[in-house]
Structure 1
Amino acid sequence: MPSSHISPVFVGRSVELTALGEALSRADAGEPGALFVGGEAGVGKTRLVQEFLGRADAGGAVVALGGCVETGADALPYHPVSTALRSLRRRLGAELDAAVAGQEGELARLLPELGEMDRGQSETDSRARLFELTVRLLERLAAHRTLVLVLEDLHWADRSTRELLSYLLRALTDSRLLIVTTYRSDDLHRRHPLRPALAEYERLRTVTRIELPAFDRTEVRLQLAAIHGEDPTEQVLGRVFDRSEGNAFFVEELASSIQGGSPSGISDSLRDLLLVRAEALPHDVQRVVRIAAQGGSEVEFRLLATVTGLADDELIETLRTAVGAAVLQPSDEGESFRFRHALMREAVAGDLLPGERSRLSRRYAEALEDDPTLVRSGERAGRLAGYWFDARDPARALPAMIAAAAVARGRHAFAEQHQLLERALELWDDTPEELRHQAMRQGVDDGLWPAISPDTPGDFVDLLAAITLAARLAGERERALAISKRALRQLEGDPTISAFPIPRVVGSAQVGDLPLGGGDAIRAAWFWIERCQLMRDLCRSDGWDEISHAQKLVRGLPPSVVHAHVLTHLAHWYINHQPGPLAIETAQQAVELCRLTGAEVTGLAARHILAWLTIHAGDVETGLEQAREVCARNLEPGNAQILLRGYGNLSTALHGIGRYAEAVEVAEEGSGLADRHGLPDIASFIDGNLAESLTELGRWDDADDVLERAGDRRGVSARTQGQLAGQAAELALARGAYDVARRWLEGPDTWATGSYPEPQNTLPMARVAIALAAADGRILDVRSRLESAVGEGVAPGHHRYGWPLLYEAAAAEARARGLAVAEVGREAAVERIREAMKGMPEFVPLWSAQALMIQAELLTAEGEDATARWTEAVAATAQLEAPVLPATARLRLAEALITQGGTEARDAAGELLRQADAAARELGAEPLASEITKLAGRARIQLQPTDAEPAPPPVAALGLTTREREVLRLVAAGRSNRRIAEELFISPKTASVHVSNILAKLGASGRGEAAAIAHRLRVFDE
């Protein structure tokens, strides 16, 4: 029976109801969508949704309702989805069973009533399939009817639920499904995980976000009138409105107080306000309410009966009173009860004494252990762990936490698994040793610990290994690093955890033996490799010290999986720092060792490394085929991370040799797979490569979208964020957004210019810095940055980054010809570029074309005729996929032809400029388009072709009069206006007018740039 202080009339919310109704109509028409309803606690979200669901149900829609829980959320992954599916199963029965036929074992992760979970697949593989099967199930159920899926209190959602929801929002395309969620906006603090998720959801076309405001004074009046049956007095209205601030729940609470005859007996404290109704209940009902509060957001009737010790009939009557007072409310199926408002449960639970809370938790735990059927099987482990933890009984809580962590891992809920293991760590020291051994052995049986040693489990160290791995999978790298340090202190007895100073050449790692046995040495090596990955992701190491330490640990021991793992990481280090014959030899050894030890997954990584090295050694097709063979492998248990990162490696290899369209195809496939497998860092890494190739293809808007998507993912490492920043800088540079490019360049200093930079990062960013310096006319900065980047030449294996870098430097020298500041040191600068080119391979068409362009720019910088070389470059770039390079080469050839003079050369230059201009404007390449326009203007060439275009005489090729050419000659010689006037026998004012006209005709910003243009175009024979 509804309480008298709850309004029987639905008040306001017409705009929100209209939005919900429109979304439902679209779903009826086969267009799925989602609405996120936010608002502060008590503002009326639940009442709005209930009103809407009543209308949807009356219209023939099927409604499935699930709510998130605020306590133990880390132990109950997918709880709201499981609850919603359970309600669907009750309503649809055989139809739902038919829809899941054949997939019961996998969908049992969400709905345990379907049977035993299938544990035969890896975490990443099964997780992706679980998400896909959920989509298919909902699509089948919503194929011929409208289905409304409601998830309440999303602010309490576990991470796995949020990730499943993200997948649903993107994957549902053609069904009659409407998803409605609610969340507390006032609970979303700055670091709340739902904040970035909501921002991500809002960008989807199918998602609408509604923020529910508080009631205004008129709406509060209507609410009070409906509650009391008459209009309130202005005094009552004013008091209630001021104190409630329009919060619908607070209005109800205050209305109840007024109706009870004690309008001034409620304190200003929210806790006191929320406790009023509970404290007004009879003593025996209050007792049950307090017990229910400690049981969690929702407590099953049978469990509550066991803990309270009441007979069923007595408990029913007690609950009836609590429900009638709007303190508790039954679930849809009537088998469990929850507080009408979560804030009330928090207040009641918080009012318990510490000893009272622990005793009640113990009773819950003991009841659940005595009869596991008191709660649903999918929640049992997590609930039991939470109860024992709150009971402050480490001996019972530790095994329960480890068991719950195993369940969470089985459901691919890595964040929840990590939190449970952290709690186990808290309990470790207070748990008897024998119980710790038993719990750890059970963890091994449940597959919770990584297989890092052939010996018996190392107890505490293996717990640390599990936490390290879970934290890394959950994106908590700092915590994973801290735990790995603790483990190494335990194993090696070294409080500093400092690696040995080993020279960075294989074969010279000569250090003293470590006092570790075989099993401990292998465990320590495993932790050092984990530390290597974490330190690189956090940009705190290049990985050498960690790898070399691990090498020493496994040296002299029988070959093992960990040994193969170490050698593979060594080969990977060589790719980034010392590619060459030694790297290839190491990669080959790693592949063979993986084969011998049965390290199949690590072997895939080793084969990818070998393929990359093969490509850059010149055997391109063989290397590409090797890489494709690895990527073509089926996703099997444990290999998803390696295979998906391989997609990224293959895409960037294709990009490096100029096969951009193929690179885009590979990257798009890899990014989608990584997203579906819940690997955000790999997905964003691949997206960075995808954006790079899209940029080269001229698909700049698409590249923007990809970079935005990649940057919005949670759990992305600092290294990958730096990669994305680099791509954003490249894109801004191409568009001429120099300020934006500078901001990106200055931001990620920890990854590109920090203590442990890698050539694959430093060379691209040096190119951007050189291009920005050249755009500002800072030729000396160009030279210093080039020297810093290639002081000893371009690193072997990184020529794909070296060619564009050297071109920017060569082009800057050519543009600066004629500037006085550039003359000193020009010869050395040009020679420096030529030296860097020596030995760089040109076996790829892209690289040979870039080499021709560099040679042509250097000839221009030296004042030599570069027409022939630019002609070769135009022919070479015409065969490439990237549109910017052909347009640039045509511009430079046109410039050389104009310098030559003559009608035929000028006509050819006009055609080249028109082609280049069309490409630049289509791309939106403002710097390139501006340069083309300026050159065309100086040469009096129409960029839009005309039927008859008379050629001006050579003396007017730049549009200058004879007097202006004389003035320009003196400007180029560094004369002031007064000196020019004296030499030409004109007034200084006239000289100033001539200079102004010259600058305007040449499109020059100053006297120095005008002089540079004159020298570059050979305006003066001498």
Structure 2
Amino acid sequence: MQCPFCRRDNREDARFCDACGTRLAAHAGGEQSETSIVSRESELARLADLLGKMTSGHGAIAVLAGEPGIGKSHTAQTLARRAAGVRVLWGRCNEEPGAPPYWPWLQIMRVWIESHDEEALRSMLSAAAPIAEVLPEISRRLGDQAPLLPTTDPLQHRFRLFEAIASFWRLAAASEPLLLIIDNLHWADASSLRLLEFLAAEIEDSRILLLATYRDIELNRQHPLSVTLGDLARYGHFHRLRLAGLTRRETEALIAQSGGKAFTPALLDAIYEQTEGNPLFVVETTRLLVQEGVLGHGTRAGRAEPCAPPGIRIPEGVKEVIGRRLNRLSPSTNLVLARAALIGRTFDLQLLRRVLDEPLTNRIQDTMEEALRSRIVEPEERPGWFQFSHAVIRETLYDEIAIPARSGLHLRVAQAIEGLYANDADQHLPALAHHYTHALPGADAVRAADIARRAAERATGLLAHEEAARYYRLALQAAGMTSACDPALKCCLLNALGKSLTLAGEYLQAREAFEQAMSLAREAKATDEMTSAALGFERATWAPGLPGQTAARLLREALAAQDSGDSTTKAQLLSSLARALIFSGEEAQAEIVHEQAVAMARRSGDTGTLVSTLVSTLSARWQPERSAQRLRDIEEALSLAEKSNDVLRALDAQAWQMFELMELGDLSTWRVRLEQCERRAAELRQPFESYVAATSRATFALMEGRFDAAARLIEQALQIGRRMPGLDAPGVYGMQMFTLRFEQGRLRELAPLVRAFVNAMPRAGTWRPGLALLYSEIGLLDEARGEFEELAGDNFAVVRHDALRAASLAYLAQVCARLDDKDRADALYAMLLPYDGRNLLIGTTVGCLGAASSLLGLLATTRREWRDAQHHFECALAMNLRQGAEPALARTRVRYASMRLARNAEGDVDAARVLLEDARAAAARMDMRALVEQIDDVLRSAAHTSCPPWPAGLSPREAEVLRLVSSGLGNREIAERLFLSPNTVANHIRAILAKTHSANRTEAAAFAIRNGLTGR
């Protein structure tokens, strides 16, 4: 076996090099790997159980938490050694922030790729093109991959990358079970954590056990890992194990394993008390005491000393222990190790040589041999690379470097990296940015800013938006230290920072960056940067649904700075301004600005700009009275995009077309468009459109009353949406589950959650209509009235023209009717009337509440406008029947029946009973329990109203069907007349024939004539 340090060959079973004492790679797993593990058997048993389940296809995620040195890495190493028949792959996060984005994942994937031939690689990487963006080794091994169709949305681009990596691991695990270990997760870059969150959903049904270690003392609420752990905790296949200190007996065994040959109980107690059973602390203290000659001489005349020997002090702290161990090394070795600590936990000997002064360089072999023999460092598998045996040792050495000296030393490391890797400098930009910025103020601030900017741009290219934001902040920090900071440069960096923060979903921070950029650009009269800042601010405002007044002000300012004449830039600004105005409540002005934007885009002659302008404000134009204009815009955008082969913009326009079709109730065309959208989204790997299709499927199942299927589809949509940053997938999930529980009559289950959520929301008015409906449905009428009164202020001004307007009006209409508030019914009726003839939608694809006419009829009933109510209800029955909206149809029948009972005109009681009979049958079939109870209450109240019995035991509905049969109508005509499906009519006729003992329709008609049913 060749020594990685001196290159001398040794015996295959040798632990250390005969020439230099270097620990050989086969035995380089850490000091405790040479001995049996002390304790941790209970944790290892739990992990072994997960490992066994994983090999059977039940994957899991496990984390080992604890303080530094508690044995997290060692426990992971032991599990890896015991994982027979499982491929083990390691990734380690660096404590110094100079590693490339996705560093632990890149390490793991590289090891897998290096261990497989081209044939295996080709069969694995069906999605090689996205992965090749972050792993150039793929292109070197397989050649350039066919690029994916580019997407204009960076978030969808990153989703495709993450999905490709998930596909990689699914295929790899199908070939062999995998144990993926990520060490020191608390040091992972934020982009790596987002990837972990994405992969979490893919692991449960695969042969993968992902084990991560982290220091829990490093975490607080602001730490990125805290968010990740909270996200992972949602999964049933996530397991957290916390390692505590060893017991006194286990400490005694570890002291013996670490070289302590003889020690008194008093000395054991002293070590145990000071170390609190921390394995690293125990081992380091033992080694120190052995070196100092304390251990091995702890007894006198065969009697145990009552305490530690006089004059011997047990160090209070692991860094003090390590410091005393380092003090036993030569001064030159300490200097070399301190320079190595500047480089990081792992370091390249070639790079270290360039950092050292010539005298130290000449003695580097002797100093490294001493460090190796003292177990301070150990060789890595890569030839010429070494690492500190524990991260705390590196931290101790780094912390001991005087702060004034660090700046110059970091600069020396940066220059050494540039010199050593001159031909591959871009790959080392993260490390260079780290060292150059830490070299300030001694380094060239302009150079440091430029390096950090380039590192940010590279991170953006790798879709690591969180890391890009960090590097842009470093660039701004460096730029601010220049003697004459260029406002244009700072403005450009702030705009880039805002964009990265927007892509990372940090909208409030993004808005702050864009506002600062706008202020600087205004002073510098930098028109292009003003434009970027205004457009960026509006996007960071619109995406989370914030009010648009500030965005509108900035956009107007940017427009005023433009040159006269038309331009695509002005068209973009006008388009964004129109959207901002809508979110400011200025709908009329927004329409004028939108028309100006479209006209300018047409004059520009740029098809892409025109398509984007036509589509851009659709997300904020919710007024039903503008539906015809929206449809024209969509159709034009779709036609232009398809003619220019702009398939992504065409797909976007098609998604908006689906929204309009559902609102209009054209469900047959909607289904065709949905299938096309699903197929194209899958072909083009467009995750957002796939998410839209998934939520649409859930909405359609809810609309048809397929509640079990809806529950499954809602969960599936959530899993897709959670993996896309910037989407409010949990919010959509909550609204769909609210709709499902409402239809099932199970809103009581959600009451505590909805109440807590509404109270915690800063824009509570958005969600209070749902809370009012919940109170109303579960019988808390005083609470419902309180919410309703608060929302009704200023003529329901809280109900804005946004995605939730239709749903808010629907909820409030039902509460208003339940409270029998005639005055408020007038206002709500006027607000809801523009939706007449349409479906009421929640957002675009979140939910469909059926025909708006049903609720118009309910409000007309509350107003005692009987003729209007009857007209609305009959329109709603026809629309809901035509589109198969079974729950909405059942509720409309109950509302219509209640209206007719309240009016009590001739024939109303009979008609009401028929409606209630049909509604109850449908509600019972769909298990709408609360609605069934409501119908039974209405039937009981109507039972006292006189009504002649029907002959032969016919029900009211069967009598009505028989009357129409006797009039000569066919099944389809009867279905249309009674708002029933032809199948339901056929079922009624079979029952009629059986009850009247008729052989056919003619005999049944004769029965009707004999019993006087034709005139009833």
- TM-score greater than 0.5 by the shorter chain: yes
Tell me if 1:908 matches 2:917. no
Name the residue aligned to 1:506: none
- 1:129-174: CA deviations, max 9, x gaps? 4434434444555443334332211111112222233333434687
Asked if structure 2 preserves the Cα contact closer than 8 Å seen for 1:539 and 1:751, the reply is no
Name the residue aligned to 1:412: 463
Which of 344, 350, 362 matches 1:296?
Answer: 344
* Distance (Å, rounded) in 2 between the aligned partners of 1:199 and 1:660: 40
Asked if structure 2 preserves the Cα contact closer than 8 Å seen for 1:27 and 1:176, the reply is yes
Alignment of 1:110-149 (within 5 A): 110-113=134-137, 123-124=154-155, 127-139=158-170, 141-149=172-180
Which residue identity is paired with 1:460?
K
* Distance (Å, rounded) in 2 between the aligned partners of 1:277 and 1:792: 69
When the two structures are superposed, what TM-score results if normalisation uses the length of structure 1?
0.72
Which residue identity is paired with 2:837?
E
Which of 378, 391, 402 matches 2:453?
Answer: 402
Task: Give the 3-state SS of the residue equivalent to 2:175 in structure 1.
Answer: coil
Worse-superposed segment, 931-940 or 882-891: 931-940
Name the residue aligned to 1:343: 392
Name the residue aligned to 2:229: 198
Task: Give the 3-state SS of the residue equivalent to 1:459 in structure 2.
Answer: helix
Q: Does the C-alpha gap of structure 1 residues 778 and 103 become closer, same or farther in structure 2, counting only changes over 3 Å?
A: closer
Tell me if 1:775 matches 2:816. no
Name the residue aligned to 1:422: 473
Tell me if 1:566 matches 2:559. no
Tell me if 1:152 matches 2:158. no
Which of 272, 276, 280 matches 2:324?
Answer: 276
Q: Does the C-alpha gap of structure 1 residues 312 and 173 become closer, same or farther in structure 2, counting only changes over 3 Å?
A: farther
Q: Does the C-alpha gap of structure 1 residues 792 and 207 become closer, same or farther in structure 2, counting only changes over 3 Å?
A: closer
Worse-superposed segment, 787-796 or 555-564: 787-796
Q: Does the C-alpha gap of structure 1 residues 153 and 647 become closer, same or farther in structure 2, counting only changes over 3 Å?
A: farther
Name the residue aligned to 1:475: 505
Q: What is the CA distance between 1:305 and its match in structure 2? A: 2.1
Tell me if 1:76 matches 2:76. no
CA-atom RMSD, angstroms? 5.1
- 1:751-771: CA deviations, max 9, x gaps? 354xxx8xxx89878877987
* Aligned-pair identity (%): 21
Which residue identity is paired with 1:427?
A
Q: What is the CA distance between 1:301 and its match in structure 2? A: 1.6
* Distance (Å, rounded) in 2 between the aligned partners of 1:656 and 1:777: 32
- 1:677-719: CA deviations, max 9, x gaps? 899xx999999888777765654745874797699779658x9
- 1:207-228: CA deviations, max 9, x gaps? 4443334333443343334334
Which residue identity is paired with 2:91?
G
Asked if structure 1 preserves the Cα contact closer than 8 Å seen for 2:897 and 2:916, the reply is yes
Worse-superposed segment, 161-170 or 203-212: 203-212
Name the residue aligned to 1:63: 88
Name the residue aligned to 1:807: 813
Which residue identity is paired with 2:78?
E
Asked if structure 1 preserves the Cα contact closer than 8 Å seen for 2:341 and 2:395, the reply is yes
* Distance (Å, rounded) in 2 between the aligned partners of 1:674 and 1:418: 32
* Distance (Å, rounded) in 2 between the aligned partners of 1:344 and 1:634: 61
Which residue identity is paired with 1:77?
P
Asked if structure 2 preserves the Cα contact closer than 8 Å seen for 1:667 and 1:689, the reply is no
Asked if structure 1 preserves the Cα contact closer than 8 Å seen for 2:611 and 2:640, the reply is yes
Q: Does the C-alpha gap of structure 1 residues 622 and 251 become closer, same or farther in structure 2, counting only changes over 3 Å?
A: same
Which residue identity is paired with 1:854?
L
Asked if structure 2 preserves the Cα contact closer than 8 Å seen for 1:77 and 1:158, the reply is yes
Q: What is the CA distance between 1:230 and its match in structure 2? A: 6.4
* Distance (Å, rounded) in 1 between the aligned partners of 2:594 and 2:773: 30
Q: Does the C-alpha gap of structure 1 residues 907 and 598 become closer, same or farther in structure 2, counting only changes over 3 Å?
A: closer
* Distance (Å, rounded) in 1 between the aligned partners of 2:604 and 2:120: 46
* Distance (Å, rounded) in 1 between the aligned partners of 2:600 and 2:260: 83
Tell me if 1:318 matches 2:387. no
Name the residue aligned to 1:743: 755
Alignment of 1:852-871 (within 5 A): 852-856=854-858, 858-859=860-861, 862=864
Name the residue aligned to 2:1007: none
Q: Does the C-alpha gap of structure 1 residues 285 and 534 become closer, same or farther in structure 2, counting only changes over 3 Å?
A: same
Task: Give the 3-state SS of the residue equivalent to 2:288 in structure 1.
Answer: helix
Name the residue aligned to 2:597: 590
Q: Does the C-alpha gap of structure 1 residues 50 and 790 become closer, same or farther in structure 2, counting only changes over 3 Å?
A: closer
Name the residue aligned to 1:617: 626
Which residue identity is paired with 1:617?
R
Name the residue aligned to 2:986: none
* Distance (Å, rounded) in 1 between the aligned partners of 2:325 and 2:677: 57
Alignment of 1:693-772 (within 5 A): 699=707, 701-702=711-712, 705=715, 716=726, 735-737=746-748, 739-740=751-752, 743=755, 746-747=758-759, 750-751=762-763, 753=765
Q: What is the CA distance between 1:68 and its match in structure 2? A: 0.7
Q: What is the CA distance between 1:293 and its match in structure 2? A: 0.8
Q: Does the C-alpha gap of structure 1 residues 222 and 745 become closer, same or farther in structure 2, counting only changes over 3 Å?
A: closer
Asked if structure 2 preserves the Cα contact closer than 8 Å seen for 1:607 and 1:630, the reply is no
Name the residue aligned to 1:521: 527
Alignment of 1:941-980 (within 5 A): none
* Distance (Å, rounded) in 2 between the aligned partners of 1:803 and 1:602: 35
Q: What is the CA distance between 1:352 and its match in structure 2? A: 0.9
Alignment of 1:9-48 (within 5 A): 9-29=36-56, 32-48=59-75
Q: Does the C-alpha gap of structure 1 residues 690 and 66 become closer, same or farther in structure 2, counting only changes over 3 Å?
A: same
* Distance (Å, rounded) in 1 between the aligned partners of 2:655 and 2:770: 18
Task: Give the 3-state SS of the residue equivalent to 2:180 in structure 1.
Answer: strand
Asked if structure 1 preserves the Cα contact closer than 8 Å seen for 2:703 and 2:888, the reply is no
Asked if structure 2 preserves the Cα contact closer than 8 Å seen for 1:571 and 1:609, the reply is no
Gaps of 5+ in 1: 438-456, 494-515, 817-821, 942-946, 953-1022
Task: Give the 3-state SS of the residue equivalent to 1:180 in structure 2.
Answer: strand
Which residue identity is paired with 2:536?
E
Q: What is the CA distance between 1:432 and its match in structure 2? A: 5.9
* Distance (Å, rounded) in 2 between the aligned partners of 1:489 and 1:40: 45
Q: What is the CA distance between 1:929 and its match in structure 2? A: 4.8
Name the residue aligned to 2:6: none
Task: Give the 3-state SS of the residue equivalent to 1:539 in structure 2.
Answer: coil
Q: What is the CA distance between 1:337 and its match in structure 2? A: 1.6
Gaps of 5+ in 2: 1-15, 17-22, 24-29, 295-307, 841-847, 945-949, 956-1016
Task: Give the 3-state SS of the residue equivalent to 1:750 in structure 2.
Answer: coil
Name the residue aligned to 2:961: none
Name the residue aligned to 2:987: none
Asked if structure 1 preserves the Cα contact closer than 8 Å seen for 2:61 and 2:211, the reply is yes
Asked if structure 2 preserves the Cα contact closer than 8 Å seen for 1:329 and 1:337, the reply is yes
* Distance (Å, rounded) in 2 between the aligned partners of 1:745 and 1:157: 32
Q: What is the CA distance between 1:902 and its match in structure 2? A: 11
Q: What is the CA distance between 1:558 and its match in structure 2? A: 3.8
Asked if structure 2 preserves the Cα contact closer than 8 Å seen for 1:648 and 1:689, the reply is no
Name the residue aligned to 1:842: 837
Name the residue aligned to 2:972: none
Tell me if 1:381 matches 2:418. no
Task: Give the 3-state SS of the residue equivalent to 1:70 in structure 2.
Answer: coil
When the two structures are superposed, what TM-score results if normalisation uses the length of structure 2?
0.72
Alignment of 1:131-280 (within 5 A): 131-139=162-170, 141-171=172-202, 176-204=207-235, 206-228=237-259, 233-260=264-291, 261-262=293-294, 264-280=312-328
* Distance (Å, rounded) in 1 between the aligned partners of 2:878 and 2:772: 28
Which of 345, 355, 364 matches 1:307?
Answer: 355
* Distance (Å, rounded) in 2 between the aligned partners of 1:919 and 1:806: 28
Asked if structure 2 preserves the Cα contact closer than 8 Å seen for 1:151 and 1:182, the reply is yes
Which residue identity is paired with 1:192?
H
* Distance (Å, rounded) in 1 between the aligned partners of 2:693 and 2:805: 21
